[in-house]
Amino acid sequence: MVYITEAHPSDVWQMESNVKEKVVFASPRSEEERGVVAGACVRKLGIEIPAVLDEFGNSTESAYTGWPDRLYLIDGAGRVAYKSRPGPFGFHADELKAAIVKAVTTQ
């Protein structure tokens, strides 16, 4: 998982659901602040897969059009084997599963 630009910072576009769930953060002003916010999100959401930070210039987000969120599968050769539509409504587990099966069986 790559943590990119905060989707709903309190100083830009605050979501009522964030207030309700007590997950309210202003836009980070440094990589260190971004790390604090990302860590809080990982803990709050119970994410158990490895998570890394996009650098402060958002090069990963720009290269992969990851905002607001998107699922990718990178194959063994380092190529994009699957790219979901923007989430969460664009996430379809059956499509990702089929891409994983294909990637594993064609190695």
Contact 54, 60 (CB under 8 A): yes
Nearest to 18 by CA among 56, 49, 44: 44
- Domain residues of the chain, as ranges? 1-68, 69-107
pLDDT at 68: 76
pTM of the model: 0.74
pLDDT at 54: 93
Decide if domain 1-68 falls under CATH 3.40.30.10: yes
pLDDT at 7: 77
CA-based Rg of the chain, rounded to a whole angstrom? Answer: 15
Phi, psi of 41 (to 5 degrees): -65, -45
Q: How far apart are CA 6 and CA 27, in angstroms?
A: 7
Residues of the chain below pLDDT 70: 107
Nearest to 71 by CA among 38, 94, 37, 40: 94
